[in-house]
Amino acid sequence: QLQLVESGGGLVQPGGSLRLSCAASGGSTLANHAIGWFRQAPGREREGISCVNKSGQKVFLTDSVRGRFTLSRDNAQNTVYLEMDSLKPEDTAVYYCAGDRNPIPGFCSVDSRAYDTWGRGTQVTVSS
């Protein structure tokens, strides 16, 4: 069964960058899953922001992060990366990655209901 671990969060100034990683752990593999990234700020609902299909050829980014965030996957390294540039205070949240073992072929979703495996999250704080 897929197990996911996020890393790379931290404190960064506005305009700065971070790279988050989502790695499969415990001998599991994420190659057969679409992967999504979600975030949840204090007092707000969880928000889907990006996803990548199993092959990595299809990437989706929501309007709130498009042009600033980049998503990629390296199945050989069993890891998905979320590169975050031009960070804003409103990007402050706990960031989660999740795996969808039955995605529509060739596609991915930012609807949390599509995902059956979740990591524990990593905190991103954007503040001066």
pLDDT tens for 49-67 read 999 999 999 999 999 999 9
Neighbours of 18 (CB within 10 A): 20
pLDDT value, residue 27 = 83
pLDDT tens for 84-116 read 999 999 999 999 999 999 888 889 999 999 999
Query: Among residues 37, 45, 105, which one has the least CA distance to residue 70?
Result: 37
pLDDT value, residue 109 = 95
Angstrom CA distances, 63 to 1, 18, 21, 105, stand at 32, 19, 21, 23
* Banded model confidence at residue 82, pLDDT cuts 50, 70, 90: very high
Q: Is the pLDDT of residue 28 over 90?
A: no
Q: Average pLDDT of 19-40?
A: 94
* Banded model confidence at residue 44, pLDDT cuts 50, 70, 90: very high
Q: How many CA atoms lie within 13 A of 104 on its CB side?
A: 8
Beta bridge partners of 119: none
